């Protein structure tokens, strides 16, 4: 079973079904077949929603994304960890598939209790490199990480890059910039990094695994494109060698 965690711009408690993460969680389940999945849904603020904008302002944030990144995601990490610990107590360390800002939730939880995790697949991760790097570096070898990046992700470039933690300063983002090769000491057996829009990586994995990888600037092609699904399967089945 794989736990799936969505990112920004959802409210599972909203009376408006368009704000719910249901459709995205269904897409995650399709991407991870034949594995079973268990969704973890969380309130991550809805962009352009006036009540959420007011909540962000009351928290001292300029916009809903900054509110979600700085306040909601760290708080949710504690709730997610409690969710993970309950499952791990019954069946051992868990596998996780996290998209966008959900990656911040998962990494913060893994920092608090690494022994509760087995495999973590990060898709278009919206965490800042300066935050993600020490967490990943200090995870034990028993925790395996696959960081699936898209260099041309326009959402990460504009929203995550400039809006976490504030404005007017472009951050390096895990799901767009990656950790390698600048952080050479992170090159260990339990961390793998793939750029879906890198032609050389596409060709390499096509020849090795017959995968038709594709990364798009829309932030969602990574898990919707059928040609990427075999990548996830091989990672969670311990068959991915780069």
pTM of the model: 0.94
SS percent in the chain: helix, strand, coil, step 5: 50, 15, 35
- Fold classification of 2-236 is Rossmann fold (3.40.50)
Give residue 132's pLDDT: 94
Cβ contact 14:47 at 8 Å: no
Q: Which of 71, 74, 174, 64 lies closest to 123 in space, CA to CA?
A: 174
Residues 204-240: tens digit of each pLDDT? 999 999 999 999 889 999 999 999 999 999 999 999 8
- List the chain domain ranges: 2-236
Cα 189 to Cα 89, 102, 139, 175, 192: the distances in Å are 26, 24, 12, 19, 8
Give residue 125's pLDDT: 97
Q: 110: which 2 tokens?
A: 């893994």
Phi, psi of 27 (to 5 degrees): -65, -40
Give the SS3 label for residue 222.
Answer: helix
Give residue 62's pLDDT: 86
Give the SS3 label for residue 104.
Answer: helix
Half-sphere exposure of 152 (CA within 13 A, CB side): 11
Confidence of residue 171 (pLDDT cuts 50, 70, 90): confident
Alpha carbon distance 125, 133 (integer Å)? 12
Give the SS3 label for residue 121.
Answer: strand
Q: 3-class secondary structure for 32-91?
A: CCCCCEEEECCCCECCCCHHHHHHHHHCCCCCHHHHHHHHHHHHHHHHHHHHHHHHHHHH
pLDDT surpasses 60 at 66: yes
Dihedral class, residue 13 (left if φ above 0, else alpha if ψ from -120 to 50, else beta): alpha
């Amino acid at each position: 079973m794989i736990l799936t965690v969505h990112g920004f711009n959802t409210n599972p408690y909203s009376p408006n079904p368009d704000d719910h993460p249901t459709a995205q969680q269904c897409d995650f389940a399709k991407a991870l077949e034949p594995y079973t999945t268990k969704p973890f849904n969380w309130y991550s603020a809805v962009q352009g929603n006036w009540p959420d904008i007011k909540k962000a302002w009351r928290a001292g944030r300029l916009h809903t994304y900054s509110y979600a990144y700085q306040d909601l995601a760290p708080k949710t990490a504690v709730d997610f960890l409690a969710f993970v610990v309950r499952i791990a107590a019954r069946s051992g360390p868990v596998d996780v598939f996290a998209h966008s800002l959900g990656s911040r939730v998962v990494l913060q939880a893994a920092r608090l209790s690494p022994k509760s995790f087995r495999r973590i697949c990060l898709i278009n991760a919206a965490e800042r490199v300066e935050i993600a790097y020490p967490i990943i570096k200090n995870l034990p070898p028993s925790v395996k990480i696959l960081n699936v990046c898209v260099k041309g992700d326009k959402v990460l470039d504009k929203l995550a890059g400039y809006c976490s933690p504030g404005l007017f300063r472009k951050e390096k983002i895990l799901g767009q910039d990656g950790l390698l090769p600048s952080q050479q000491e992170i090159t260990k057996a339990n961390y793998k990094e793939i750029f879906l829009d890198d032609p050389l990586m596409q060709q390499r994995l096509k020849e090795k695994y017959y995968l038709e990888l594709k990364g798009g600037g829309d932030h969602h092609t990574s898990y919707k494109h059928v040609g990427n699904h075999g990548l996830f399967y091989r990672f969670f089945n311990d068959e991915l060698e780069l």
